[in-house]
Amino acid sequence: MITEYEEQCKVVEYYNSKNILGFAVINDGVKSIGQAKKQQKMGLRSGISDLILVFKKGVLFLEMKRSRRVLKNGNLSKQNLASENQLKMKKYFDENIESSAYEIAYGFDEAKELIDKYEKKWNGV
- Give 41's pLDDT tier (boundaries 50, 70, 90): confident
d(CA 117, CA 105): 13
pLDDT for 83: 87
pLDDT for 39: 80
Decide if pLDDT at 30 tops 80.
Answer: no
Q: Which of 69, 106, 112 is CA-nearest to residue 86?
A: 106
Least confident of 12-16, 26-30, 114-118: 26-30
pLDDT for 77: 61
pLDDT for 78: 61
Decide if pLDDT at 29 tops 80.
Answer: no
d(CA 14, CA 76): 26
Contacts 24+ apart (CB under 8 A), 102-106: 102/49, 102/61, 102/63, 103/60, 103/61, 103/62, 103/63, 104/63, 104/65, 105/11, 105/62, 105/63, 105/64, 105/65, 106/65, 106/66, 106/67, 106/68, 106/80
d(CA 121, CA 115): 10
Domain ranges of the chain: 4-123
pLDDT tens digit string along 70-122?
Answer: 656 666 566 677 889 999 999 999 999 999 999 999 999 999 999 999 999 99
Q: Which fold has domain 4-123?
A: Trna Endonuclease; Chain: A, domain 1 (3.40.1350)
| Average pLDDT of the residues of the chain | 87
pLDDT for 13: 98
pLDDT for 66: 84
In angstroms, how far is CA 111 from the centroid of its own chain?
8
Average pLDDT over residues 57-69: 88
Helices (H), 18-107: 33-41, 84-96
